[in-house]
Amino acid sequence: MNIGYLLFALFVIFHSSSQMLEKIGLRHVGQVGFRELTNPISLFHILTNGYIFSGVVLAVFGLVCWLGAISRFEISYIYAFTAVSFMVVTFLAWLILKENVSIARIGAFSVLLSGLVLLYLTSR
């Protein structure tokens, strides 16, 4: 297995997990706007939420894996596969957060997945 694909898979796992943790943390913190993000005390409160902090840590691990992956592939190739993260996050949001996922969204992901398979097969 190409280490680049492993690094990319780890990126997807870390990135998707970080999104879930950050969203769960924001459910505890509440809505965040420009005022909260520019106020040091509010920002400290947001970032010290355990879920959000853990999500940020996972995002950093994801960034490290992403840098490793893009160092091994053409960016125009590997960047298209970040769409996998959209699908994983949507699935996790449905499973963990009980968000609604419409048939239209599932259909759109089917089209995306078909395109990614085509991209992968034609690049070999």
The pTM of this model reads 0.87
Distances (CA, A) of 116 to 14, 39, 42, 84: 20, 42, 41, 9
112: buried, middle or exposed (CB in 10 Å: 19+, 13-18, 0-12)?
Answer: middle
CB 29 within 8 A of CB 52: yes
Quote the CA–CA distance of 112 and 83 in Å, as a whole number.
7
What are the pLDDT tens digits along the chain (124 aa)?
A: 689 999 999 999 999 999 999 999 999 999 999 999 999 999 999 999 999 999 999 999 999 999 999 999 999 899 999 999 999 999 999 999 999 999 999 999 999 999 999 999 988 7
